[in-house]
Structure 1
């Protein structure tokens, strides 16, 4: 499916100092300035950029110091941006495709105020899997047109067997759209329902972040405490000494992943506690000196879960259930054992490697139970309750004031949640298909949101 853009510009030859095609559109001007400051590697230039180009309301939600910390993580991971092409220019939004210094293709999107002086309200960066077929949808004129477009899109994708799951869209006025598509159990032909429980994948990491900050506020830990303070027998002595809670939260620890050859060789039913995950990664050398780089770390979030257990005196699953899920009314959210008989639970389906590309159950890839890094289950309605608790400050997550853009994915698992406090819109997509099923749907929905 293609979407007509407000403006399309031919790709230009990539180069580190290159800008998006010059126009007087404020979003384009801001985005060019951002790329120049990002590539400079200078904290002073980034600080000056944030102060000069962002609206005061945006800086109130996410202060400059916090933005600089995010920049450092992004700079360490992405290195630089070289503009490939301007994808679209709308009155208050510009999207460009850039090649990052680490080789990734990144869609950069700048959004500005609708009234003068049209300063920035947000810049988003999204990994692009197929840059040759990049598609940026245009905002719809109003909510009626928007909902019709979403419904038509999801129905068409379901008929093509390319979507199975639940989508929920809410605004300050309430829930605008909440529908289920496809089957929770293809063999038994049991349809997904609005209250079906889906595997969240890595979205669970957000609950772990909240739990850590709860314990920090209670004075039971500091973000600058080392792993060794809580886990003196941690298998890697260097990590125990050098890696802090803050490093783990920000994925700057150097601790790697638990997925890999060890995970593949381990009988999955034996992975049922956080301690069971440790032999899969914990004795490996650090991938880099803590604090000097940024790399996605499932292992690091398992360690955070173990710290939560040590500090709180209860297992991780009980802690988040009692301190996050129950207070928020999230009664259909938990980390269920793989062999538990849980009603209204979606089974995951992944495309196999055979020429027929049939959808097969993902059961064999699942651990006996999820962890503090991911693998718990929830419903779209419960995830809405979670966002509203953050919005109303019943739960505290320091960087949630500027919204959320989180996702999780694995074979037969894909979830996406987008919350923009400025517009008030919340988009939740949970699926029991492979990535990028939910991510693509959420991106399309967010792109169609009326401005």
Structure 2
């Protein structure tokens, strides 16, 4: 009798467990179906109206475009929920993805034009141009599988007219390099570029040249070993340092700011802001740029902690974790946390754990009045008080408003966050455009005289930017990062944009697929512009360092990308450069 009751109990328990599992699966499936149904029912901007093809991929792209322009948070979340696999959503949730996109969207201001370029039946490149002379390119790649349409790749980059020039026909390697060299020479002759360019394939340089002057007053030319200010590229070093301390058990992404900085002036920030908020720029901490920074003599700013006085006492811009906003202040705070957690000064920690490890002997945070051999002076045409700050990475070519066909405008009340809805037919002008004639007519003004950037640049950089390096050292840095010299494979994957180790217990990254790693970071300020790009699939590394205003370096990096083989091309070999194995390399 007792055995029968036990069997009956086990049967009931099994049934309950089965029901729970089945209900969970059904709920997830229902959520997926509901998201897709809701997305498809939003017909305020159909694919035909937008100029997209009437295909599943075209419909998806059209709905994404409408939601992005209208800053429709819920619409973007439904887009990701319907188009991404469950595995990708576990790695980075739809909410987190939308937060980053809306931060970018707010920077653009009112959208005056959108242009589309269909790269393949299921791949689109969208150029959004804002009123603030800023633009962005969002690339969407879909794939049909299991009777559904999925988003398999999405990249975002700064948008310029060059982004929509006709594709360059494939060229033999020597001709491609000759054309890149010819165009850089022309741009340099127009006084629009001065610096160093390094192109490497599988970490081996195939193009390495210096252009322009390191010192205009003394006529000293830039050389391959010239040191340049990196601007915000230094933030990457700070992020790696955070991961190193986490691996040593000295820090956690969930640690509060106040644990390490109990004397931080803002009590709300001490309690609510976590390390992850600082890394992801969702802390609500503002920037150090502003009237106080402008009034302060720059020779007073000689350490990372000196930047705190410009923002630490100010209120948070929003609830930590609720929004994303570019913040140099967040990385300054990270620098101080690194110092407290490690017991080593921030600059020394980076030297020991990154520069020394990679063999970067020409990289440091030099002080402005320190005599440093082979260091490029920065030159700007921006007058103090009108310069762009570091939050506008790289600047860009501005477009005159009358060069864009303006059919609609999206107005947003910044105080309430409300969006004024506009009829879809008046919303945007989506069309394929050949921008070549517009670019040819766009020239950088060369009549203005150059000034040294000594009054806009602090005496020493911070954990947010302002350190110096050479092109050769940055190549060593990429090699060290790629080959796990700084971090374990899971945390290296995190630095490249992968999921946080341990956040999803079901996901164990022991051997990440390094082919999907890519990196594109830039820094820009008056007299400073630097670009570092790496693509794991093709093996290309692009490094451009300039001692002029943005977009001196970003213009060159985009030019180079036009002539390099795209992802998946494995047959582009330079003379004397033998590929001994398929990518990725085992270093």
Shorter-normalised TM-score: what interval? 0.7 to 0.9
Contact 1:227 1:244 in 2 (8 A): yes
Q: d(CA) in 2 for partners of 1:101 and 1:288?
A: 25
The answer for the alignment partner of 2:477 in structure 1 is 386
| More off after superposition, 74-83 vs 345-354 | 74-83
The aligned counterpart of 2:254 is 224
In the aligned structure 1, how far is the partner of 2:128 from the partner of 2:112? 4
**TM-score for both structures, normalised by structure 2:** 0.66
Q: CA 1:83–1:437 in structure 2 vs 1: closer, same or farther (change >3 Å)?
A: same
Alignment match of 2:545 (pick from 425, 430, 442) = 430
Offset of residue 314 of structure 1: 1.0
- Which residue matches 2:462? 371
**Higher relative contact order (CA closer than 8 Å, sequence separation 6+):** 2
* Aligned with residue 294 of structure 1, among 321, 324, 348: 324
Q: 2:196 aligns with which of 155, 162, 166?
A: 166
Q: Which residue of 2 aligns with 1:251?
A: 281
Q: Cα–Cα, structure 1 residues 387 and 253, in superposed 2: closer, same or farther, change >3 Å?
A: same
Equivalent position of 1:138 in the other structure: 167
**TM-fit CA distance, 1:122:** 3.5
1:139 shift after superposition = 4.3
Q: 1:74 — aligned with what?
A: 100
* Structure 2 counterparts to residues 37-116 of structure 1, below 5 A: 39=72, 40-41=74-75, 43=77, 45-51=79-85, 65-66=91-92, 68=94, 71-78=97-104, 84-91=113-120, 94-98=124-128, 105-110=135-140
Change (3 A) 1:99 1:185: closer
Q: Deviations over 1:374-432 (max 9, x none)?
A: 00001111111111222212233414163111100000000111111122111111100
Q: Secondary structure at the match of 1:263?
A: helix
Aligned-residue offset at 1:315: 0.7
Separation in 1, partners of 2:55, 2:255: 46
Q: 1:66 to 1:382 in 2, by over 3 A?
A: farther
| Deviations 1:40-75 (CA, angstroms, capped at 9, x unpaired) | 4464641441229xxxxxx8xx87523746513324
Query: Displacement, 1:171?
Result: 1.4
Contact 2:114 2:129 survives alignment (8 Å): no
Cα distance in structure 2, aligned partners of 1:165 and 1:433: 8
Match of 2:449 among 347, 358, 364: 358
Q: How many residues align?
A: 424
**C-alpha distance 118-190 of structure 1, shift in aligned 2 (>3 A):** farther
Q: Does structure 2 retain, via aligned residues, the 8 Å contact 1:210–1:395? A: yes
What is the DSSP-based 3-state SS (H/G/I as helix, E as strand, rest coil) of the residue aligned with 2:85?
Answer: helix
The offset of 1:267, in angstroms, is: 1.5
The DSSP-based 3-state class of the residue aligned with 2:103 is helix
The answer to whether 1:443 aligns with 2:558 is yes
Alpha-carbon distance between aligned partners in 2 of 1:326 and 1:26, rounded to the nearest angstrom: 51
**1:306 equivalent in alignment to 2:421:** no
Distance 1:25 1:323, change over 3 A: farther
Contact 1:407–1:416 (Cα < 8 Å) also in 2: yes
Contact 2:366 2:467 in 1 (8 A): yes
Higher mean Cα deviation, 144-153 or 393-402? 393-402
Per-residue deviation, 1:110: 3.7
Q: Is the 8 A contact 1:136 1:444 kept in 2?
A: no
For the residues of structure 2 that align with 1:261 and 1:274, how far apart are their CA atoms?
19
Structure 1 range deviating more: 91-100 or 437-446: 91-100
Q: Give the Cα separation in 2 of the matches to 1:170 and 1:70.
A: 33
| CA apart distance, 1:121 | 5.7
Runs (5+) with no aligned partner, structure 1: 1-14, 53-58
Deviations 1:348-368 (A, max 9, x none): 000145994111111122212
Q: Identify which range, 171-180 or 376-385, moves more after superposition.
A: 171-180
1:17 aligns with 45
> How many Å separate the matches in 1 of 2:132 and 2:66?
17
Query: In the superposition, relative to structure 1, how do residues 306 and 137 fare at CA in structure 2: closer, same or farther (>3 Å)?
Result: farther
**Distance verdict in 2 for CA 1:25–1:330, change over 3 Å:** farther
CA contact (8 A) 1:198 1:430 kept: yes
Instruction: Identify unmatched segments of 5+ residues in structure 2.
Output: 1-42, 385-444, 497-513, 567-587
C-alpha distance in 2, partners of 1:24/1:18?
8
Distance 1:340 1:150 in 2: 36
Instruction: From the superposition, tell whether residues 347 and 173 of structure 1 become closer, same or farther in structure 2 (CA, over 3 Å).
Output: closer
The alpha-carbon distance between structure 1 residues 169 and 353, as it changes in their structure 2 partners (threshold 3 A), is: same
Normalising by structure 1, we get a TM-score of 0.85
State the match for 2:153 in structure 1.
Answer: 122
Shift in alpha-carbon separation, 1:330–1:188, aligned structure 2, 3 A = same
Higher Cα Rg, which structure = 2
Report the alpha carbon displacement of residue 108 of structure 1 after superposing the two structures with TM: 1.8
Q: Could you tell me which of 293, 316, 327 is aligned with 2:357?
A: 327
* 1:294 CA displacement: 0.9
Deviation (angstroms), 1:25: 9.5
Q: Is the 8 A contact 1:165 1:431 kept in 2?
A: yes
Q: Secondary structure at the match of 2:136?
A: strand
* Alignment RMSD: 3.2
